[in-house]
Chain A
């Protein structure tokens, strides 16, 4: 037993064997069956009340958690049920929830971003909440945002949009008294703002790959439908013109490199940019982080400039909905979903705590909601014309957006021209859809 043993060394042959083993495993994994998608059972929200689980990324956020926990407590007390809280960080939420739902670990009510409904619906475990939405005055935009493939997989909770948020005082200082309506005027205004100097970035547009999906709304503004039926139109003249214009802003220093939503909020809060893209949920963040105690009063929501005067301004739907995962406690969870999204008292309480727009006509007419000037501006100028991202209809939408963003970034850094990059992006996106 104690005979000296020759030392084992990794030879090229061993490495090839190991690589082959790894590749084989990866191939097996790739061949694994994918989840099938089908509409779940129709929710009734009736029957005896039972305990259920509620999942939300906001349940551990210090600013959001108290408001949600208060609502959970109120429903639980009124109905004599216990609600288990489940939470994951926002950036990990959809992957974790998908795993839990697919593995049968999670059933109940889940707070979801409307962009995720397609991915979750594909698991085939979401209830159809259409019957519960009947007779409730949800806004048409809210109901549409919480649908996938014509099925009401979610009940809208807070529906808004992503649009241009501005600092009116900075714009006035730069001599931009009226917010520009057309893209040409917008470019001229950005040039004026740049003359403020002192490191001011005229428009903190997204330029980091992770957030470059923001370019899609500009492509639509330039006239590209992005998707025609199931045919990707990226690579058409409008999308190329949009990216060429973006690149022009980039080259002239009117937008800055390496900016994502978080960077944009910080730049805005510090008074280093007067314009950036955000949803209304970003208001608290910029106001809290700003040394300017009057920033809240300077905020203004603006319609996105259009190609030609008279065009409809584009905006991307943003919002949260409650979906119900079939299984233990699902009926009570569905009842909770309807209550929390439509009860006027619950809507008032939640709005007062978080300032997020409710999704029913009656809640929008509440005096507290109507008195929110910035919120009203947001609804009138941005949300009113917001549309969903057509790629959200596909569970692989995140990959599609990444593929497009990668090509746009190649244009921005000068390694590709807009025409060939968008043609490539369109082909890649089409490949992912097919």
Chain B
């Protein structure tokens, strides 16, 4: 039976039936199911094909990562390519576990990314709040200046930062990495949080003021808790930026403070050959923390990124 037959029939007069006789509206899930059933098979098939293709597009590289990690090195480029490894092996993962240097890279990545995230959120929260809720001379100019810093080519900034850090003796330190990563994350974090703070009614701030709350109390006890999703989104963005960076970590960190991306390239990509299974296994393992963080916090991330997007 098609869903349309379940709808109340329109009386011959063309007028809507009286409220007293109209059936209660179906709950939302039932309406959605009914709408799906109403689609023609061709449309549903097309929808499913689209979902599968898009899903495959996103997941196939991840599968290929795993398959290569499980493939012996002499079969990685076997022709024709195999969808499933013919002789799967965990050798690549075992090699990772026995490579102590990788744990040093991992520790460095965690330290640098976490500090970058905290520092970015801390600074951008105050900056974003200031841009959103205060009016002062030069506010707009400052906002655009922050945005303009995103327009510089990173390579240009790398040389500049290298010179500055070198002059201050900061090369080969965590400080150099954290400061450089924060430099790049701040503009987006500030604008993201400004958008979030814009959605918090000024009346709420005014009411707290009337109740005698100080400016800092208002920020810390009222505004920041309300902006928690935005703060999490900004922190996650900054964390991922620090976790994934290659060229700054390679240039500024030195051998002792090197993070995972340059560390993996240094370890597995050589002049003449690449240890693909080990590289894929390592990539898979190191992407897990970021993937888990995304899954756990994705609702905040989406909320934070779109905050203020439709505010008039």
- Do these two chains interact? yes
* Chain A contact residues, CB within 8 Å of chain B: 1-5, 7-8, 14, 17-19, 21-22, 25-26, 29, 57-58, 60-64, 85-92, 96, 99, 103-105, 199, 262, 265-267, 269-270, 272, 281-282, 284-285, 288-291
Extra inter-chain contacts (8) besides given A22-B148, A57-B271, A266-B77, CB under 8 Å: A3-B135, A21-B151, A25-B156, A103-B162, A199-B79, A262-B274, A289-B76, A290-B74
Taking CB atoms, residues of chain B closer than 8 Å to A199 are 79
Indicate if the CB atoms of A289 and B273 lie closer than 8 Å.
yes
Contact check, B266 vs A89: say whether CB atoms are below 8 A apart. Answer: yes
- Cα A3 to Cα B135 in complex, Å, equals 8
Q: Give the residue of A1, A22, A99 whose beta carbon is less than 8 angstroms from that of B135.
A: A1
Distance between Cα atoms of A99 and B312 in the complex (Å): 48
Contact A282 B272 (CB under 8 A): yes
Is there an interface contact between A99 and B78, defined as CB atoms closer than 8 Å? no
B271 touches A281 (CB 8 A): yes
Asked if B266 contacts A21 (CB within 8 A), the reply is: no
Q: At the interface, is chain B mostly helix, strand, loop or mixed?
A: helix
CB distance from A96 to the nearest CB of B (A): 6
A2 touching B266 in the complex, CB below 8 Å, given contacts A7-B311, A282-B272, A289-B74: no
> Cβ of B162: which chain A residues have Cβ within 8 Å of it?
99, 103
B250 touches A96 (CB 8 A): yes
Nearest chain B CB to A55 CB, angstrom units? 11
Chain B residue, CB-CB nearest to A90: B271
Question: In the docked arrangement, what's the CA distance between A141 and B156, Å?
Answer: 39
Task: Name A103's contact: one of B79, B144, B163 (CB within 8 Å).
Answer: B163
**Is B140 an interface residue, CB under 8 A from the partner?**
yes
A162 CB to nearest B CB, Å: 12
A1 touches B134 (CB 8 A): yes
Report the minimum CB–CB distance from B140 to chain A (whole Å).
6
B271 and A88 within 8 A (CB): no
CB-defined contacts of B275 to chain A, threshold 8 Å: 62
- Determine whether the beta carbon of A88 is less than 8 Å from that of B250: yes
Beta-carbon nearest neighbor of A85 in chain B: B255
Chain A residues within an 8 Å CB radius of B147: 18
Cα distance, A354 to B107, chains bound together (Å): 32
Please encode chain B, from 271 to 299, with 1 for each CB lying within 8 Å of some chain A CB and 0 for all others: 11111000000000000000000000000
Partner of B78, one of A2, A91, A103, A270: A270
Q: Is the CB of B74 within 8 A of A291?
A: yes
> Which of B133, B151, B152, B247 lies in contact with A2, CB distance below 8 A?
B133
Complex contacts, A85 vs chain B, CB 8 Å: 255
Q: Which residues of A contact B152 (CB under 8 A)?
A: 22, 25
B192 to chain A, nearest CB (A): 14
- The answer to whether B143 has its CB under 8 Å from any CB of chain A is yes
Of the candidates A5, A17, A90, A269, which one forms a contact with B77 in the assembled complex, judged by CB atoms under 8 Å apart? A269
Q: How far is the CA of A151 from the CA of B73 in the complex (A)?
A: 43
Nearest-CB distance from B165 to chain A (Å)?
10
Sample of 29 A–B contacts (CB below 8 Å): A1-B133, A1-B135, A2-B202, A18-B148, A19-B151, A21-B148, A22-B152, A25-B156, A26-B156, A29-B156, A60-B266, A63-B270, A86-B255, A88-B266, A89-B250, A89-B265, A92-B247, A99-B162, A103-B162, A104-B166, A262-B274, A267-B77, A269-B77, A270-B78, A272-B79, A281-B272, A284-B272, A285-B272, A289-B76
Instruction: Identify which of B135, B205, B251 contacts A5 (C-beta below 8 A).
Output: B135
Q: Fill in one digit per residue for B173-188: 1 if any A CB lies within 8 Å of its CB, else 0.
A: 0000000000000000
**B-side contacts of A285, CB under 8 Å:** 272-273
CB distance from B309 to the nearest CB of A (A): 12
Is B267 interfacial (CB-CB < 8 Å)? yes
Q: In the complex the two chains form, is A61's CB within 8 Å of B78's CB?
A: no
